Every structure is written in C-alpha cells, then in structure tokens.
C-alpha cells in the first residue's frame, strides 16, 4: 500500500469525477477548492481518523470545514453508494465475485454518540453502533448497514440480502442474489430461512442448541477478514460522526476502496 493512501490516482479519479454533482456556473463567493483535493482531504480523514479542524492545510485540501461540507454534499447526491456499485459491477464483469455463497456477520465499532445508537450488549451503561455486513465468498463487501448496538443481527439479514444492488457485467440479467447465505447461530430463524428460500437462496445457518455445521466457520471467516479491512480505515473503527448519513458515507467509501484495490489486483501489473 502507498505511504500516502489518501492520494487519488488518475484511474480512480476517472471513475469518481463523473459521479460528482456540478457546481452552479455563477456560484457566489470565492473559487471553491478543487473536488479532487477535497476528496483527498476526505480520504486523509478516513485513513487517519484526523479531526476535521486538524486537517493539514499545507497538503492543499482546504479547511476541514470545506471537506466536511463537500462530504455532506456528495453523500446527499449518492456519490459513494454509486461508486461502490460501479466497482462491484466491474469486479463482477471480470469474474472476481463469488456468487456461490454470501456471508453475513456483525461487528461493533467504538462509539462517540449520535443517531442510531443504543445500549451496548457488553456494557449497558454505554451507547454504541453496530455494522452489519454481507460479503461474497471471497470477502468483497456487498452491503453494510449501521444500526444501534442493541439491534439483533437476525433482524438485518433480509435487509442485507435485499440491499445487494443488481450488478451487470456478465451475460444475462444483472445479478443480485447469491446461491446461498451462510450465518452463525445469531441468524437462526425459521422465518429468515423461509424468506431466503422464497428468494431462491439456500440458507446455511447453524441452529441454536445444536452442533455447528461442519466447516461453516472456515467458510464464514471471510466476513471477519472483511471487517478487519474496513476497520483498517481508522475513521470506521471509531464512529465519530453524530450524523448517521455522514458515517455511512465513510462506510460506502471504504467499501468502494476495498473493491478498487481488488479490481486493480485482478488487472495485474
């Protein structure tokens, strides 16, 4: 990985730039900071968990307030979700998505308060959030949902499955359903199994009070690896944003960057 991972290379910028909303032709005030520099400032915060007011001005990003406002504007325009979806489709086109199975799991980042927080199951005195993830068989993040920490994993299973966007790139209709969904005992539910089968998805979920399905833990380990990749972005390891939409902007951007790295690796030197 680059020693300056917040730098946006020309190839990635070519993907992102068309997604950004244009500035009004006669916008009042001084000339705004270039979008590419603001994006690099946002990436600097994502990687280093730097407070907005401490963003280094000498790197040319503009002020922290400038980057924060640009993040807000782009999130409202759906830029980061679009980026994640486009890169997933490109991975699908080159055969880098494993549709034979998808894995669901949950993880709690450390919490500094804000919307969609609730009592932590491990310490009821503290509020917290939880990330719910579904990834393909190779650990590529397909969808992440943020909820309060006291929301049961099982309640988000179908939301995760239905949240996978339709991905073109292969012959036939765009695909959005894996062949099977793998989950631990926290996802044990007859209703969830029934709904997955109705979607023509095979549920492979351990039952409470019974031995774990042999080999399931090894197959589901990719979800833990994906959480480790997401939480390498230090801004996601601790939730600082009180506004859920801004936290989700960082989550979608992190998922997109993981997809971008995998796409470049698949393309080779």
Closest CA relative to residue 63, chosen from 79, 41, 87, 93 = 41
Highest mean pLDDT among 105-119, 151-165, 197-211: 151-165
Strand spans (E) along 60-122: 102-107, 110-111, 118-120
Closest CA relative to residue 103, chosen from 203, 170, 192 = 203
| 227-253 core/surface letters (b: 16 or more CB in 10 A; e: else) | bebbbebebbeebbbeebebbbbbbbb
Instruction: Check pLDDT > 70 for residue 72.
Output: yes
What is the pTM for the complete model shown?
0.89
For residues 25 and 178, the model is more confident at 178
Instruction: Calculate what percentage of the chain has a pLDDT beyond 70.
Output: 87
Predicted pLDDT of residue 126: 54
Structural domains of the chain in order of their starting residue, each with its CATH number: 10-21+30-76 (no CATH), 97-236 (3.30.420.10)
pLDDT by residue (tens digit) across 166-187? 998 888 889 999 999 998 888 9
Q: Residue 1 is encoded by which pair of tokens?
A: 């990985």
Mean pLDDT value across residues 78-106: 95
CA distance 204 to 149: 25
Strand spans (E) along 138-257: 141-148, 180-183, 202-205, 238-239
Q: How confident is the model at residue 42 (pLDDT cuts 50, 70, 90)?
A: very high
CA distance 230 to 61: 24
Strand spans (E) along 139-206: 141-148, 180-183, 202-205
Lowest mean pLDDT among 53-67, 104-118, 188-202: 104-118
Helices (H) and strands (E) in the chain, counts: 9, 8
Q: Which residues pair with 182 in a beta bridge?
A: 103, 204
DSSP 175: B
CA distance 104 to 85: 19
Instruction: Calculate what percentage of the chain has a pLDDT beyond 90.
Output: 58
Predicted pLDDT of residue 109: 67
pLDDT by residue (tens digit) across 105-129? 988 765 555 445 544 444 444 567 8
CA distance 67 to 124: 35
Q: How confident is the model at residue 18 (pLDDT cuts 50, 70, 90)?
A: very high
Mean pLDDT value across residues 37-50: 94
pLDDT by residue (tens digit) across 205-217? 888 876 667 667 7
Q: How confident is the model at residue 238 (pLDDT cuts 50, 70, 90)?
A: confident
CA distance 78 to 238: 23
């Amino acid at each position: 990985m680059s020693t300056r991972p917040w730098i946006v290379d020309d190839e990635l910028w070519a993907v992102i730039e068309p997604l950004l909303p244009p500035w009004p032709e006669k916008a009042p005030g001084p000339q705004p900071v270039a979008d590419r520099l603001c994006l690099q400032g946002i990436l600097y915060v994502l990687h280093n968990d730097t407070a907005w007011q401490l963003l280094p001005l000498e790197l040319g990003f503009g002020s922290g307030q400038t980057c924060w406002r640009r993040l807000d504007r782009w999130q409202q325009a759906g830029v980061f979700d679009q980026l994640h979806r486009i890169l997933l489709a490109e991975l699908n086109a080159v055969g880098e998505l494993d549709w034979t199975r998808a894995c669901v799991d949950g993880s709690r980042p450390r919490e500094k308060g804000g919307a969609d927080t609730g009592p932590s199951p491990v310490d009821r005195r503290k509020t917290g959030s939880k990330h719910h993830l579904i990834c393909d068989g190779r650990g590529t993040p397909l969808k992440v949902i943020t909820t309060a920490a006291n929301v049961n994993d099982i309640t988000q299973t179908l939301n995760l499955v239905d949240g996978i966007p339709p991905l073109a790139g292969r012959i036939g209709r765009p695909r959005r359903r894996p062949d099977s969904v793998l989950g631990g005992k926290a996802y044990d539910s007859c209703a969830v199994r029934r709904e997955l089968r109705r979607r023509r998805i095979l549920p492979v979920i351990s039952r409470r009070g019974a031995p774990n399905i042999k080999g399931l833990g090894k197959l589901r380990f990719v979800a833990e690896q994906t959480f480790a990749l997401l939480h390498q972005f230090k801004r996601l390891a601790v939730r600082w944003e009180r506004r859920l939409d801004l936290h989700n902007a960082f989550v979608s951007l992190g998922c997109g960057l993981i997809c971008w790295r995998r796409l470049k690796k698949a393309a080779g030197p």
